Structure 1
Amino acid sequence: MPPAAAALLRCAPAVPFAARSSAVSRSGMARRLVAASAAAGRLAPAYRGLLLDAGGTLLQVARPVAETYASIGRRYGVTKTKKRIMEGFKRAFSAPWPKTLRYQGDGRPFWRIVVAEATDCTDGDYFEEVYQYYAHGDAWRLPTGADAALRELKDAGVKLAVVSNFDTRLRKLLKDLNVSEMFDAIVVSSEVGYEKPSPEIFNIALDQIGVEASKAIHVGDDETADMAGANATGLECWLWGKDVTTFSEIQERILTTDGPQ
């Protein structure tokens, strides 16, 4: 038992157990014991700030992309298999983008190319239906335990930020999933004019949460955009799916006495 809780117990009046239980309940001492135990056992965070990638890390698609493209596409004559749709999607998504920003404004120019390459369908109505599908929170989900882990980190004093290469739909998606209010900063590439791996986008987030790079950690799923970009900024980075696989693990690794304070 933590010393603080033990000290409170020593100060409790010597009365029969049943009477003591009743008195504790009435007086609220039970709540004070729990609070004292929690305070005594709380560990100092290893990092003062947590930066999170959105798509592929904090935000996961509710169902596979190829399945969505195919099911919506049936009404528009899309006949490609889900395997071939996914191959086209990956090919288009990873291709070099000739413009300064991949996601400009609402991101439609980029996503039109991706959808057309994935499905061989250039029907404007089809594209708009796919685009609008991903503009709502129902199309996305948070990883298991993410909400609880983020709240624990925030309660421990860790500053939270989203740093994402995304279009202007992101803020609504975070709101739909009831997590936007937890973040001290939401930095979106289409809004600030920089995309990861550019150090500028990370520095904007660090400035907004008031934490130095050496005292923050970034978590993302891309070795170039997230890992290389964060490292170039002086940030340590954990790759989602490799270095960490759950938000509970992120929470546990941050809420430790080891690491920068």
Structure 2
Amino acid sequence: MRLQLLTWDVKDTLLRLRHPVGQRYQAEAKSRGLQVDSALLESSFRQVYRQQCRVFPNYGLSQGMTSRWWWQDVVSQTFRLSGVQDEKILHPLAEALYADFQTSKNWEVLPGAREALKGCAELGLKMAVISNFDRRLEDILRNVGLDGHFDFVLTSESAGVAKPDVAIFHKALKLGDVIPQCAAHVGDDYMNDYKAARQAGMYSFLLQEHLREDIPSDHVIQSLDQLIPRLRGLIK
């Protein structure tokens, strides 16, 4: 069957952070007169983020949270763990960083991404996003100039379910009005992107620098410029 819909992961597939989180948090703190080590902030963030994801998966939606609240809690806990205890400082810091991370100041388009999206459009493919991201993603895509490529953007927040649950792929297929055999997904995570899409009945391509022994080599793209030739074989 002819390929009709191509869905994309975003973070580390199309976009990446311009600077490590610790550096950005340090800069925001410094603008408010606080001196906090960026490496300590980075370590604290990773610890807090892992814990938050474990206790409140998918932004705590099923537990009555919002993604804004979830992220502001992550920021506040990161600074507390890094030695900042003044609650009067933590709240505005968390608000500022939540807003800041939806701007192009913190995100850049990966090399080859614009060309790959343009090439996919020229193949006549409908395109969409499936991402474990929050409601800010559409603003981020607009701010970096990628929003015009997609028919729809499906985040785990809007879907109410996160990858690798195949339900989010089923929701995307329904939105795209295609059957799984006419859709493919591109992403950089083996479980969330490659394997989950395959379990949903779609084609999928894993964006990784190195080939893996456990999946066919033609399912791996080591850079985005390899994608178009692979897709041509699915639309003939």
Short-chain TM bin: 0.7 to 0.9
2:118 to 132, 145, 151: 151
Counterpart of 1:90 in 2: which secondary structure? Answer: helix
Change (3 A) 1:76 1:220: same
Q: Equivalent residues in 2 for 1:51-66 (5 A)? A: 51-66=7-22
CA RMSD in angstroms, aligned pairs only: 2.6
Counterpart of 1:101 in 2: which secondary structure? Answer: helix
Q: Hey, what's the Cα distance between the residues in 1 that align with 2:117 and 2:198? A: 23
1:244 match = 221
Q: Equivalent residues in 2 for 1:39-188 (5 A)? A: 47-76=3-32, 79-95=35-51, 96-99=53-56, 101-102=58-59, 104=61, 107-120=67-80, 121=84, 123-188=90-155
Counterpart of 1:186 in 2: which secondary structure? Answer: strand
- CA drift of 1:156 comes to 0.9
5+ residue gaps, structure 2: 210-219
Q: Equivalent residues in 2 for 1:193-204 (5 A)? A: 193-204=160-171
5+ residue gaps, structure 1: 1-44
> What TM-score does the superposition give when structure 2 sets the normalisation length?
0.78
Change (3 A) 1:239 1:81: farther
- CA drift of 1:245 comes to 3.8
Counterpart of 2:58 in 1: which secondary structure? Answer: coil
The structure with the larger Rg is 1
Q: Hey, what's the Cα distance between the residues in 2 that align with 1:177 and 1:167? A: 17
Change (3 A) 1:154 1:260: closer
| Deviation string, structure 1 residues 138-195 (Cα, Å, up to 9, x no partner) | 3211111211221121121122110011111111111122221211221122122121
State the identity %: 25
Change (3 A) 1:131 1:211: same
Q: Hey, what's the Cα distance between the residues in 2 that align with 1:177 and 1:46? A: 31
Q: Hey, what's the Cα distance between the residues in 2 that align with 1:87 and 1:186? A: 31
Question: Mean alpha-carbon deviation: is it higher for 178-187 or for 45-54?
Answer: 45-54
Change (3 A) 1:74 1:241: farther
Change (3 A) 1:136 1:222: same
Q: Hey, what's the Cα distance between the residues in 2 that align with 1:140 and 1:107? A: 19
Q: Which amino acid aligns with 1:164?
A: S
Q: Which amino acid aligns with 2:14?
A: L
| Deviation string, structure 1 residues 78-132 (Cα, Å, up to 9, x no partner) | 5443333222222232334434632658612221232234333461111111111
| Deviation string, structure 1 residues 180-239 (Cα, Å, up to 9, x no partner) | 121122112212212111212111112222332233221223333223422321233333
Report the number of matched residues. Answer: 215
> What TM-score does the superposition give when structure 1 sets the normalisation length?
0.71
